[in-house]
Amino acid sequence: TCGTVIGATAFRKDVSNFIVPLVMDVTRDVAGQQVLIESYSTVANGSSAVSQGVELYAQHTLPFGLGAQVNFTWNDTSTADVTLDGQKVGTSPLVGSAKTQFNASVFYETKRLLLRASYNRRGTVVGGLSSGLNTYTAPYEQVDLNASYELMNGLMLTASVINLTKSQEWQYLGNDTKDRFVGSIYAGRRAYVGIS
């Protein structure tokens, strides 16, 4: 089927509270004595925050089955106070949010065959608080490939390569320098073949 779709959406979400992972030094009563616990991991409460932005979408398919689709999201979040046991321990943007997200796919589709290559890019993602600073996951991008072929009525052969580019996530403390490295996540390139 040939056609074009273009869309735009504006959004605003009011979040009354949210959970913030927290790492900090605390003093606790242990067997009647005050003991300093360093790098104590817990969760705290983020107060009211706003997430607002715009999402743009477009798809075009040519008569012979070749097509492309793209979408882009821009998200602006406010900074909220973070409290633990009723005391303010810092401020944080909405945890898990990224300012930008972009996805693009090129596909070829017939009655029995589907081939798709997808590119995904996510901007910097806000994490929890550690020693008074947010952790941030650096921008991340990867390419995925998917294919399916109908062998006969009711029998489908599928194949996928996830993270063809062998991309890796990098996390830092604060968003002002790469010198405070926290860790990295690497899930590797994964390939799947199946029949359903």
Q: Which residue has the higher pLDDT, 32 or 191?
A: 191
- Cβ neighbours of 73 (radius 10 Å): 19
| pLDDT tens-digit series, residues 101-120 | 999 999 999 999 999 999 99
> What proportion of the chain, given as a percentage, has pLDDT over 70?
99
Q: Which residue has the higher pLDDT, 45 or 183?
A: 183
- pLDDT (average), residues 36-52: 86
Beta strands across the sheet bearing 79-84: 87-93, 79-84, 33-46, 18-30, 125-130, 133-137, 169-173, 181-185
| pLDDT tens-digit series, residues 110-157 | 999 999 999 999 999 999 888 888 899 999 999 999 999 999 988 999
Q: How far apart are CA 174 and CA 136, in angstroms?
A: 6
Q: What is the mean pLDDT of the chain?
A: 92
Q: Is the pLDDT of residue 85 over 90?
A: no
Please report the beta strands in 110-164, taking only residues with DSSP state E, as ranges in sequence order. 113-122, 125-130, 133-137, 140-152, 155-162
pLDDT at 7: 97
Beta strands across the sheet bearing 190-195: 3-15, 49-61, 66-77, 100-109, 113-122, 140-152, 155-162, 190-195
The least confident of 18-22, 59-63, 97-101, 157-161 is 18-22
1 — pLDDT class (breaks 50, 70, 90): low
- Cβ neighbours of 27 (radius 10 Å): 10
pLDDT at 61: 94
